[in-house]
Amino acid sequence: MVEDLEKEQLKDAEQDISRDVKDLVIARLDIFPSDRKIAIGSSGEFSKEELIEHVKKGDEIGNKAIEVELAFLRALKDGDLLREVLVPDEYE
């Protein structure tokens, strides 16, 4: 009984996180200009509005957009982005 309750709570928490992540990604996609598109391999080309729709649906393209966004945010949080851009340019 207690186990079932814990499982239920865990499932609710995961759904909340998933919803929060989707909301975050959709908010961040807002800076994507309306006059640009992104090509994602053989999956096709997508405008901001199309990407947001895919994120809302939670399909393969939406999950890819989430993966890219989270990778970027992790690079920001871990300082990787700062380290990357602070590397001196050898070729300039």
Partner 1 sequence: MSKLLITRPEHDITTRYLAKWSEEIIKEAQAKGMGVIDLHRTKANRERVIGVMEKISPRLVVLNGHGSKNSVAGHEDEVILESSDKKAVKSKIIFARSCQSAQGLGQKSIANGANAYLGYKEDFLLAYNPSKISRPLEDKTAKLFLEPSNAVAVSLLKNHSTGYADKKAKDLFRRNVKNLLVKGPSGDDYFTVKYLLWDMTHQVCLGDMDAIL
Residue ranges binding partner 1 (CB under 8 A): 31-33, 35-43, 45, 64, 68-69, 71-72, 75, 81, 84-85, 87, 89-92
Q: How far is the CB of 41 from partner 1 (least distance, A)?
A: 4
By residue count, the chain amounts to 92
Nearer to partner 1, 3 or 35 (CB): 35
Nearer to partner 1, 16 or 58 (CB): 58
Nearer to partner 1, 4 or 35 (CB): 35
* Residue 77 identity (one-letter amino acid): K
Q: How far is the CB of 11 from partner 1 (least distance, A)?
A: 30
Q: How far is the CB of 9 from partner 1 (least distance, A)?
A: 33
Alpha-carbon span 83 to 60, nearest angstrom? 31
Alpha-carbon span 35 to 68, nearest angstrom? 20
Nearer to partner 1, 1 or 87 (CB): 87
3 state SS of 92: coil
CA distances from 8 to 16, 18, 20, 22, 89 (A): 12, 15, 18, 21, 52
